[in-house]
Amino acid sequence: MELPDKIRRRLDDFSRNVLFDESWTQSPTKGTDTFSTHEKRVLSSLQLQMSLYFNMWFFPWWWICETVMLHLKYPALTDYYKFILVTILIMMTLIEASRLFLGYAGNLQEKVPELAGFWLLSILLQFPLILFQLFNEAILIQPLERGVHIVLAIFILTQVLSGFVALRDMVRCTQSQFHLQQFEF
């Protein structure tokens, strides 16, 4: 049993204007009864993208500063801190490269899995590692190191917060698209 056209149009207008906050438009296609099509909304986060962009240019400078400072203070460190700091430098380099790639892909291409991977790498691995290097006085933190660690920590914190908002918005949009596909004939 099919609804009359007048009722169908009113339901379509109601769902478009009230439920979906005018993100749906009425554009009838030729020769069909379909009245609702989804406008492509941009879900990428400008704040996240700007932070990723500046982080991409800052990270090589951070790496150079960290390597030089590690080389200078290496003889004064204990053996286990030598091992820990070299391991952290290698881990942070690999994590940061993959984290920035996933952030770019997830944000610009609006892909939820990549953005979720970026967010998890940021909050579970990169942020604790930079906080360890920023607040552990036993590793003989130099003023240059403290400065670059603070800047990188601010980048990561900004990306965690804006990444969470972007991820939440993308998941909500994907969820609503999935639910709407259930009603399409």
Mean model confidence pLDDT for the chain: 84
Determine the Cα–Cα distance for residues 86 and 137; give it in Å rounded to an integer: 16
**8 Å CB contact between 69 and 51:** no
C-alpha span between 173 and 168 (Å, rounded): 9
pLDDT at 135: 95
CB atoms within 10 A of CB 130: 24
In the structure encoding, which two tokens stand for residue 94, read together?
A: 């690999």
pLDDT digit string, tens, across residues 155-175: 999 999 999 999 999 988 888
**What is the secondary structure of 135-175 as a DSSP string?**
H-GGG---HHHHHHHHHHHHHHHHHHHHHHHHHHHHHHHHH
Can you give the pLDDT at residue 17?
A: 55
More confident residue, 97 or 19: 97
pTM for the complete prediction?
0.74
For residue 23, pLDDT over 90 is answered with no
Task: Quick: pLDDT tens for 54-110.
Answer: 999 999 999 999 999 999 999 999 999 999 999 999 999 999 999 999 999 999 998
Q: What are the Cα distances from residue 103, in Å, to 21, 88, 132?
A: 28, 21, 23
The arithmetic mean of pLDDT across residues 113-122, rounded, is 94
